[in-house]
Amino acid sequence: MKQLLTILESIKPGVDYENCITLIDEHHLDSLSILSLVAEIEDEFDVVIPTVEIIPANFNSAESIMNLITRLQEEE
Amino acid sequence: MQYCDMSYLLLFLPLVMLFYSLVTKEKRWIVLLVSSYLFFYLLSGKLLVYLVLSTFSIHHFGLWLHDVEQVGKKAMEEAAKEEKKRIRESMNKRKRNVLILGIFVQIGMLSLVKYLPFFCFNINQLFEFIGVNFRIKQYHFLAPIGISFYTLMALSYLIDVYRGKCIADKNLGRLALYLAFFPQIMEGPIARYHETALKLYEGEKLHYQTVCFGMQRILFGLLKKMVIADRLNIIVENIFSNYATYNGGILFLGIIFYTIELYMDFSGVMDVVIGSAEIFNIALPENFRQPFFSKSISDFWSRWHITLGTWFKEYIFYPISLSKGSKKMTSALRKKMGNHFGPLCAGSIALLCVWLLNGLWHGAGYHYIFFGIYHFTFILLGNVLEPLFLKFYQITKLNRESKSIHIVRILKTTVIVFFGELFFKAPTLRIGFIMFKRIFATFTFKSFTDGFILKLGLDGRDFIILGVTLFLLFLISILHEKNISLREEISKKPIYIRWLCYYVLLFYIIIFGAYGAGYIPVDPMYANF
């Protein structure tokens, strides 16, 4: 989780990633941030995030992003 | 028959509700399907065959994708570990080929009726330019109403089945109802299979509350459409038809009026559509969220025609910007150019594709393509200049989130939208540029003060009705922007206040609606796309 929080902070600083559950809904992360985030997660966690997983529910909080990473790692 | 016609509101819709209530739960979906096909037939006659063909093909390709996956999965279960990877790759390749074929059939039908003349015209122009003495014969096919909408819905279903996001539907009737549901077949909203298909098939009985809510929503839509859009139509058509005779001030007024008309017409029809579906307890996705409170063009497109924007984002933007090549580009550029400009390159390529297709989706014409590129340019500029803006606010110590800055940003966005709609409405790109140039070359404030605007088709009474109604709608929009639902607030009031509100709304439309002699209702603009 710490690694993910560091990535998020590096992509868009100044957001309370530990508590925010509306990262997409409140536009804290826009489309360009998502592109950076996906590229960074794939590099750091060695997973491939399919396009079908790019939905608000998977990116609205650090926890949901972490759950997505864990699920993809397990599937691989 | 259109959604705001009395034949729809007082005959078609009540009859569907009646038959829907009379049959058993299991047969209600049949009532909806038959009425949807009847509605389509009344609009497009024999062109119903396109919808039927499209439905059969989508049903077939969905099941084909399902079969390929089932065969592949079964083979993987029995195979050794090393063999599994090869089977999966082969299965994915087959699925991709089936998907491409399915998309080709859908796009092929759409292109045949919508883009073939445009394509032939351009090829012939090219032949003429390079001196080749050969011309392609131009065929014109009649396009069924709403083809662009149900094609996008059909494609989303097929891609979702391919991605495993929904299971291929074996029930042809359920799939047919999802594609043809009469409230949305003409102008959307573009719903996804998982959003409406199962609920439509369920056949839930009519509830007092949802019927009331649906009817209120329909009335609200009629207010926008009949009191404002249909009234403004007179002056807009006059200005755009005689653009060469008016000065820049009047033309500028024309594009403001057209933008208001377009919004009131499209969002008004959406209220009627969503209200009609709500009567049957079907929640269609919203298409508008106070677009004229947008602080940037990017923000505007997340509030205007939302379901179209979402469709392009999910099925064009992300697949392109997250393709293998784009991801590599983003990773490499991020290291060199940082978090902002790194993803901007791949993102911009995807965005350009989105806006080219968005323009073409609206129609086969260069002014539509320009309309797409126009918005792409402003979104791109917004993205590129964002760090500069941030620095500007830092240096000047201005608060970007203050009300005054918000108002300035909203005004800037609105003016950009006005000029975009000029090219959207202009019959050709050339005329669009002529009007654009005239606005600046011959602009004078005198046009607003010398009483000339009262000679353009609307009198003082019309302008007072427009002003009062727009002001009321503006207040309602402020409430909605603050997440206060006026409808829910009214529903909490005592029964006599509630009914008083409904009657006031109804009589307001009857008294101040622009119908009858001297008024021409706006054509259902989006139905022709």
pLDDT bucket at A76, cuts 50 / 70 / 90? low
Domain hosting A19: range is 2-75
Partner-chain contact A51 B343, CB within 8 Å: no
**B203 touching chain A per CB within 8 A:** no
Q: Report, as an integer, the average pLDDT of B88-110.
A: 92
What is the per-residue pLDDT across B364-383, written as a single tens digit (0 to 9) for each? 889 999 999 999 999 999 98
State which H helix or E strand residue B251 sits in. Answer: helix B248-279
Q: Which of residues 6-45 of A touch B (CB under 8 A)?
A: 10-12, 30-33, 35-36, 38-40, 42-43
Of the candidates B213, B231, B227, which has an alpha carbon nearest to the alpha carbon of residue B271? B213
What is the tally of structural domains in chain A? 1
- Residue pair B292/B263 in contact (Cβ under 8 Å)? The answer is yes
B317-347 in b/e burial notation, b at 16+ Cβ within 10 A?
bbbbbbeeebbebbbebbeeeebbbbbbbbb
- Residue pair B173/B32 in contact (Cβ under 8 Å)? The answer is no
From CA A15, how far away is CA B393, in angstroms rounded? 19
Nearest-CA distance A51 → chain B (Å): 6
What is the per-residue pLDDT across B132-191, written as a single tens digit (0 to 9) for each? 888 888 777 777 888 889 999 999 999 999 998 889 999 999 999 999 999 999 998 999
The confidence score (pLDDT) of residue B233 equals 92
Q: Report, as an integer, the average pLDDT of B190-198.
A: 94
Residue B29's contacts (CB-CB under 8 Å, 6 or more residues apart) are B173, B174, B177, B200, B201, B202, B203
Q: How many residues does chain B have?
A: 529
| DSSP class of B4 | T
* CA distances for B374 relative to B293, B361, B423, B527, angstroms: 20, 15, 9, 23
What is the per-residue pLDDT across B453-490, written as a single tens digit (0 to 9) for each? 888 888 889 999 999 999 999 999 999 999 898 888 88
- Residue pair B296/B307 in contact (Cβ under 8 Å)? The answer is no
Q: Which of residues 163-192 of B touch A (CB under 8 A)?
A: 163-165
The confidence score (pLDDT) of residue B514 equals 83
The Cβ of residue B309 has, within 10 Å, a number of other Cβ atoms equal to 19
pLDDT bucket at B229, cuts 50 / 70 / 90? very high
- Closest chain A residue to B315 measured between Cα atoms? A51
Q: At what angle do helices B324-362 and A31-45 cross, to 10 degrees?
A: 160
- Residue pair B346/B512 in contact (Cβ under 8 Å)? The answer is no
- Residue pair B113/B50 in contact (Cβ under 8 Å)? The answer is yes
Partner-chain contact B163 A52, CB within 8 Å: yes
What is the per-residue pLDDT across A49-58, written as a single tens digit (0 to 9) for each? 888 888 888 9
From CA B354, how far away is CA B344, in angstroms rounded? 15
Chain A CB contacts of B346 below 8 Å: 35
Whether the model clears a pTM of 0.95, i.e. scores above it, the answer is no
Chain A CB contacts of B327 below 8 Å: 38-39, 42
Chain A CB contacts of B334 below 8 Å: 36, 39-40
pLDDT bucket at B529, cuts 50 / 70 / 90? low
The confidence score (pLDDT) of residue B119 equals 85
- Angle (CA) B96-A31-B299 rounded to 5° is 125
Partner-chain contact B346 A35, CB within 8 Å: yes
pLDDT at residue B19 tops 70:
yes
Please state the domain extents for chain B.
6-205, 209-284+424-520
**B317 touching chain A per CB within 8 A:** yes
The confidence score (pLDDT) of residue B407 equals 94
**A54 touching chain B per CB within 8 A:** yes
Q: Report, as an integer, the average pLDDT of B242-256.
A: 93
Partner-chain contact B319 A43, CB within 8 Å: no
Amino acid type, A42 = E
Q: Which pair of tokens denotes residue B238? A: 């006059």
Extract the runs of DSSP E, i.e. beta strands, from B125-274.
none
Q: Which of residues 383-422 of B touch A (CB under 8 A)?
A: 383
Nearest-CA distance B165 → chain A (Å): 7
CA end-to-end span of chain B: 17
Partner-chain contact B339 A11, CB within 8 Å: yes
B92-114 in b/e burial notation, b at 16+ Cβ within 10 A?
eebbeebbeebbebbeebbeebb
What is the per-residue pLDDT across B326-345, written as a single tens digit (0 to 9) for each? 888 888 888 788 777 888 88
At residue B445, the 3 state secondary structure works out as: coil
HEC readout, B262-275: HHHHHHHHHHHHHH
Among candidates B317, B319, B340 on the partner chain, residue whose Cβ is nearest the Cβ of A31: B317
From CA B399, how far away is CA B307, in angstroms rounded? 32
From CA B498, how far away is CA B521, in angstroms rounded? 30
The per-residue pLDDT of chain B, averaged, comes to 90
Chain B CB contacts of A52 below 8 Å: 163-165
Partner-chain contact A32 B340, CB within 8 Å: yes
| DSSP class of B482 | T
pLDDT bucket at B216, cuts 50 / 70 / 90? very high
HEC readout, B70-84: HHHHHHHHHCCHHHH
CATH code for the domain of A50: 1.10.1200.10
Q: What is the ipTM of this complex?
A: 0.81
Q: Which pair of tokens denotes residue B286? A: 């919203």
* CA distances for B43 relative to B39, B46, B357, angstroms: 6, 10, 26
Q: Which residue matches tokens 């819905």? A: B153
- Give the residue from B334, B335, B355, B393 with the most A CB atoms within 10 Å of its CB, the best one to mutate: B334
Chain A CB contacts of B321 below 8 Å: 31, 35
A18-40 in b/e burial notation, b at 16+ Cβ within 10 A?
eebeebbeeebbbbbbbbbbbbb
What is the per-residue pLDDT across B23-54, written as a single tens digit (0 to 9) for each? 999 999 999 999 999 999 998 888 899 999 99
